Amino acid sequence: MQSKAGLIKTIQTGRSALAMDDHTYRDMLRNLTGAKSCKDLNETDLKRVLAHLRERGFTPKKSPTEGLQRKVRSLWFSLADAGAVQNRDFKATDAYVKRVTGVSMRKASPGALSEVIEQLKRWLERIDTVTV
C-alpha cells in the first residue's frame, strides 16, 4: 500500500509519461475530484486519479528489487516457521537486511539483496542439516 506521498509521486510520474501539460492535468483533477492540486486530495481521491491515468494508458514500472524483496520475506518466513527467528514482522526482516547491507531493504541494491538471499538460504540449509 502506498502512502499519500507515494501516490502523488506515482501520479506525477503518470502525468509525465502521458505528456500532460499543466492545463490538461489541472482540468483532469478538477473534473475527477473538484480540486486543483494533488496536495488537496485524500487517499481515496488520489487512487481515483491514479486509476484514471491507468485507464489512459499509464503503467507504473515496478521496482527492480520488488521480486528480490519478496524472496527475502519468503525466506524469513521459512526461518520463522523453523523456529530460527522469533519475529516474522517486516521490521525484523528490515533490521536484518540493514545489519547485513548497511541500508534498509527498500534502499538496498539488487546485488545487496541477492547476497542477503544467499545468506538466508545458507542459514536455512544449516537448520535443515541440524534437524535431520
Q: Domain of residue 48: give its range.
A: 4-55
What type of residue is 123?
W
Instruction: For the chain, give the DSSP string.
Output: ---HHHHHHHHHHHHHHTT--HHHHHHHHHHHHS-SSGGG--HHHHHHHHHHHHHTT--PPPPTTHHHHHHHHHHHHHHHHTTS-S--SHHHHHHHHHHHHSS-TTT--HHHHHHHHHHHHHHHHHHHHHH-
Determine the pLDDT at residue 37: 92
**Per-residue pLDDT band at 61 (split at 50, 70, 90):** confident
Place of cell 542459514: 123
Q: Are residues 93 and 46 in the same domain?
A: no
Q: Judge whether 78 and 88 are in contact, CB under 8 Å.
A: no
Q: Are residues 76 and 119 in the same domain?
A: yes
- Look up the pTM and report it: 0.58
Q: Are residues 110 and 78 in the same domain?
A: yes
Decide if 60 is inside a domain: no
Q: Are residues 49 and 89 in the same domain?
A: no
pLDDT, tens digit, for every residue of 73-99? 999 999 999 999 999 999 999 999 999
Q: Are residues 87 and 124 in the same domain?
A: yes
Decide if 79 is inside a domain: yes
Q: Are residues 72 and 107 in the same domain?
A: yes
pLDDT, tens digit, for every residue of 96-129? 999 999 999 989 999 999 999 999 999 999 987 7
Report the C-alpha gap between 60 and 62 in whole angstroms.
6
Decide if 14 is inside a domain: yes
